[in-house]
Chains A and B, each alone.
Chain A
Amino acid sequence: MIAILDYGSGNIRSAERAFATTGLPVVVTRNPKVCEDALGLVIPGVGAFASCMAGFLAVDGASILKSRIEKSRPILGICVGMQILFHVGTENGATKGLEIWPGEVSLIDNEILPHMGWNSVQAPANSNLFRGVEAADFYFVHSYAAKTAVSGALNAFTEYGETFLSAVETSHISATQFHPEKSGAAGLKLIANWAATL
């Protein structure tokens, strides 16, 4: 089963439907036990870094995360759900993140923000997530991003005025700055690739 952590308002239905295309059962929940035990946990994220972080902590997300990491259970962060895995976010003042990965999430250097729409991704070699969709475009909606590669991980990059981190892949924790659930066939393929590792 895939659990999608429900910790705030926003469009979670699309994520639910997109992950259901893998054939695995999907639940949208904030039940800590269900989130800890699920085969895969998805951390969606919309809104600002600070409010996302506050919502995550309010549903005891930090303990869920700790438990899953200890047991090497897969986690996939999406958009702000990726951003909060870093040390700090600078949106609306510095906010402490979950400190899984070093580095900060800061404003993208471009005249026109948000970075909204379809952009390509420089996928790393040997990526599991991007298998079969290495050359595809994915849908982004954000103004902030992590800029520094996570050492020991497979890092994907995207260009919008500057180069930023568009996906990170480790043995158990993966994350995408773009929305695979909104990225058409390519996004569904990436989701299937992730689900196949569960």
Chain B
Amino acid sequence: MTLSIRIIPCLDVANGRVVKGVNFINLIDAGDPVEMANFYYNEGADEITFLDISASNGERATTIKIVEQTAAQVFIPLTVGGGIRSVSDVDRLLRAGADKVSVNTAALERPNLINEIAEKFGSQVLVLSVDTRSRADGAGYEVTTHGGRKTAKIDALNWIKEAITRGVGEILLNSMDADGTKTGFDIKMIKKVREIAEVPIIVSGGAGRVSDFTDAVKVGANALLAASVFHFGEIRIADVKIAMKNAGYPTRQIQSNP
């Protein structure tokens, strides 16, 4: 009788296609986000996240269709992030079948976007996605944009605190230092964020081994998000769940979906 640790695969989508890090052998079309979401649903994923990295509004319209098709067959929570700039963007996605949305750059540019979304739909639909990096002078963590290439000149912990006060219901913590390294999640930073965040924390960036997942839970992660290790079949969701169970952390039992 305890809340399970969630394991969340993330799919980067542009113009209706999964765009990177995909190398499935069992799928007919590894670039089809609907098919991949379905695959992960059957693999025992606890949620699915789509990150829309489309370059144009025209491409983004395609994402709505993908969300609709996914929601028709995948009966677990679906979070969509990328390019969300207004309450009407959120409304469109929720109506299409998304359960949660994540905001990042647009909220940095106009923090009141958080209040507007939370007031209209409730905090439970809103995830703050934060791309963090250790400051060059070693004084904590800063928020970055453009995939870690630019600094937003804001302290990450302050921004997270502010966003929670404004109404986000969950934090997606992406470590730009750990991302792609496969040397584990950013344990130090997770600890710091856990101290100040009274909402669930999803951690992302750096997963390489199953023990990385349990290490992050040990310091307070409530959910773990990964992309390439799952897409390349290096780690299966079931492997993570077994490791969790062995470490004494609760996970949802995987049942076969109809």
A interface, CB within 8 angstroms of B: 9-14, 17-18, 21, 46-48, 111-120, 122, 135-137, 139-143, 158-160, 181-188
Contact = CB atoms under 8 A, between A and B. Distances in A.
Interface stretch (B51-59, B71-79, B175-183): B71-79
Nearest to A119: B3
B3 A14 contact: no
A140 to B, nearest CB: 8
A30 to B, nearest CB: 15
B contact face: mostly helix, strand, loop, or mixed = loop
A14 B75 contact: yes
A11 B255 CA distance: 24
Interface size class of B (residues with CB under 8 A): 35 or more
Contact of A113 (B41, B121, B199): B199
B3 A117 contact: yes
A113 B98 contact: no
Interface of B: 1-6, 41, 46, 68, 71-73, 75-77, 91, 94-99, 120-125, 169-170, 198-200, 222-223, 252-253, 255-258
A13 B75 CA distance: 11
A181 B78 CA distance: 12
A114 B123 contact: yes
Contact of B75 (A135, A159, A187): A187
B257 A141 contact: no
Contacts of B198: 111-113
Contacts, number: 119
A112 B252 CA distance: 19
Q: Residue among A117, A140, A160, A181 with the most chain B CB within 10 A?
A: A117
Contacts of A141: 77, 99, 124
Contacts of A114: 123-124, 169-170, 199-200
Contacts of A187: 75
Given A137-B252, A185-B256, A186-B255, A120 B199 contact: no
Contacts of A112: 198-200, 222
Nearest to A9: B91
4 closest cross-chain pairs (CB), A and B: A118-B252, A159-B1, A118-B4, A47-B122
Given A13-B71, A112-B198, A114-B123, A184 B76 contact: yes
Contacts of B200: 112, 114, 116-117
B124 A17 contact: no
A10 B121 contact: yes
A113 B200 CA distance: 7
